[in-house]
Amino acid sequence: MPFIQVETASATKEQKQALIAELTDAASRIMGIDAEAFYVLIKENSTDNWGLGGRVLTDVLKNK
């Protein structure tokens, strides 16, 4: 059971579907394992739980 995990701040349903499809396709092709064998987990984390350059990501993104 191959397992792929991605962590992100947020993603739309369409973005998640595209990630799942493309990551599965690439991993299947590279590893020579049937695509149906892959599990993909996308974990979304609040930008308050991320840091960048010593600051909370929420604040970094506000200033861009």
The beta-strand segments (E) located in 17-59 are: 39-44, 51-52, 55-56
Instruction: Judge whether 2 counts as a catalytic residue.
Output: yes
Pick the catalytic residue: 2, 16, 50, 56?
2
How far are the Cα atoms of 11, 13, 58 from residue 46, in angstroms, in the given order?
11, 16, 8
Q: Which residues are catalytic?
A: 2
